[in-house]
């Protein structure tokens, strides 16, 4: 009995030694396994965070874009007031007023990087067209272009013959249509219930700084002409 137990004991002893050796090998590999698992978990966490951030960013950008769409461009706040000087029939006073809002050089500039070829700043072309329509309107309404009333200084001295040209006026109509759609002014105009509509006057608007644009155009002008025709 004792022999039997003794004979079996080496077997048990051998098994214990083998298990212990396996445990020691497993323990020796354990730090490396833990390190690999840690790296894997960190990588997975970073990937998930980036993925979530990407989708949240896209959602936020869509919301921001939708909100920004109706936020007027620029940072210059002003209130519009009706000024008939710019809409009255041609006279020395009205033409002087229109010339005052144009820069020297009429908006034609040359800039090393932005305008290596001589170019015109669009807003001044737009204003030129609007003024041309004004002149043509008053010329037509008084029939001056038909009567040839050269003795009336308000037409002969203060307007440009080209403004009576139907092709020029047609160009201006469609050009201004494009300009208005391009600018897509999103300032909100309160309804004037007295007139049952909007007048556009008497409330704050957010605009680009027109004076700054004029100063820029004058700084980079190609000439110093002031005629706006």
Q: Over the stretch 8-23, which tens digit does the pLDDT of each residue have?
A: 444 434 545 555 655 5
What confidence score (pLDDT) does residue 227 get? 83
**Is 61 in the same domain as 81?**
no
Range of the domain at 34: 1-69
For the chain, the domain total comes to 2
**Is 57 in the same domain as 92?**
no
**Radius of gyration (C-alpha) of the chain in whole angstroms:** 40
Q: Per the domain annotation, does 224 fall within a domain?
A: no
What confidence score (pLDDT) does residue 7 get? 44
**Is 62 in the same domain as 104?**
no
**Is 14 in the same domain as 117?**
no
Comparing CA positions, the residue from 186, 176, 227 lying closest to residue 208 is 186
The secondary structure of 62-108 as a DSSP string is HHHHHHHTTSPSSSEEEE----GGGTSPS-HHHHHHHHHTSPTTTTE
pTM > 0.85: yes or no:
no
Written as six digits, the tokens of 50 are 């980036």
**Is 131 in the same domain as 204?**
yes
Q: Per the domain annotation, does 80 fall within a domain?
A: yes
Q: Tell me how far apart the alpha carbons of residues 84 and 118 are, in angstroms, rounded to a whole number.
A: 34
Q: Per the domain annotation, does 96 fall within a domain?
A: yes
**Is 196 in the same domain as 110?**
yes
What confidence score (pLDDT) does residue 49 get? 73
**Is 22 in the same domain as 62?**
yes
Q: Which residue intervals of the chain are DSSP H helices?
A: 2-68, 92-100, 122-141, 144-147, 153-156, 166-183, 210-219
Domain termination site, one of 23, 47, 69? 69
The residue behind tokens 């921001």 is 64
**Is 11 in the same domain as 111?**
no
**Is 62 in the same domain as 96?**
no
Q: Per the domain annotation, does 228 fall within a domain?
A: no
Domain termination site, one of 28, 49, 69? 69
Q: Per the domain annotation, does 226 fall within a domain?
A: no
Q: Tell me how far apart the alpha carbons of residues 229 and 218 are, in angstroms, rounded to a whole number.
A: 17
Q: Per the domain annotation, does 225 fall within a domain?
A: no
**Is 102 in the same domain as 21?**
no
Q: Per the domain annotation, does 144 fall within a domain?
A: yes
**Is 81 in the same domain as 137?**
yes
Q: Per the domain annotation, does 229 fall within a domain?
A: no
Average pLDDT of adjacent 10-residue blocks, the chain of 229 residues:
41 52 58 73 76 66 60 85 91 94 92 89 93 91 63 50 75 92 89 87 92 94 87
Q: Are 108 and 229 in contact (CB under 8 A)?
A: no
**Is 210 in the same domain as 168?**
yes
Domain termination site, one of 26, 49, 69? 69
């Amino acid at each position: 009995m004792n022999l039997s137990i003794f004979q079996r004991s080496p077997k048990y002893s051998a098994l214990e030694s083998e298990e212990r050796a396996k445990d020691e090998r497993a323990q020796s590999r354990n730090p490396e396994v833990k390190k690999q698992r840690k790296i894997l978990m960190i990588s997975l966490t970073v990937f998930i965070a980036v993925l979530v951030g990407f989708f949240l960013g896209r959602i936020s950008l869509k919301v921001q874009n939708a909100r920004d769409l109706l936020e007027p461009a620029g940072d210059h706040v002003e209130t519009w007031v009706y000024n008939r000087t710019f809409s009255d029939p041609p006279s020395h006073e009205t033409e002087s007023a229109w010339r005052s809002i144009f820069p020297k050089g009429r908006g034609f500039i040359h800039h090393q990087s932005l305008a290596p070829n001589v170019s015109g700043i669009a807003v001044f072309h737009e204003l030129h067209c609007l003024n041309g329509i004004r002149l043509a309107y008053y010329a037509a309404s008084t029939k001056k272009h038909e009567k040839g009333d050269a003795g009336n200084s308000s037409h002969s001295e203060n307007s440009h013959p080209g403004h009576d040209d139907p092709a020029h006026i047609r160009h201006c109509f469609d050009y201004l249509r494009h300009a208005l759609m391009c600018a897509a002014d999103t300032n909100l105009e309160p309804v004037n219930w007295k007139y049952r509509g909007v007048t556009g006057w008497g409330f704050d608007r957010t605009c680009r700084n027109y004076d700054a644009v004029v100063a820029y155009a004058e700084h980079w002008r190609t000439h110093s002409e002031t005629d706006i025709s």
